[in-house]
Structure 1
Amino acid sequence: MVLLGALVNGACIIIGSILGRFLQHIPEKIKETVMSGIGLAVMVLGLQMGLKSDNFLVVILSIV
């Protein structure tokens, strides 16, 4: 059970690599939209985690 996360991560990387190999002709507009969505999700997640922190000095230093 300890390695379950590592196994799932490895399987997802392999599946994503195989899909990427076959889906090479994705339009640029869709690629840009997906990357913008992922970036926005990461920013929201980071802000939520930063606001939950009790040690704001570490958060500010991390941003700097």
Structure 2
Amino acid sequence: MSFTDKVKNKTEELTGKAKQGIAEATDNPRLYAEGEAQEASAHAKQAGEHVKDAGRDVRDALS
């Protein structure tokens, strides 16, 4: 995973968490759900990047 991808994914995750915090403070369930979805999306992207990294590691080990 490139450094840029890590930063983008972490930024998306933190933005989702911030939306959830603001939503709790303002009692806005729609914004809370949006924040949860954004955070889950970031986690899924991070997991995909980890799988790609593991595949590269296996490929490199076999060559």
TM range (shorter): 0.3 to 0.5
- TM-score normalized by the length of structure 1: 0.45
Structure with greater contact order relative to length (CA < 8 Å, sep ≥ 6)? 2
The structure that has the greater radius of gyration is 1
TM-score, normalized by length of structure 2? 0.45
More helix by share: 2
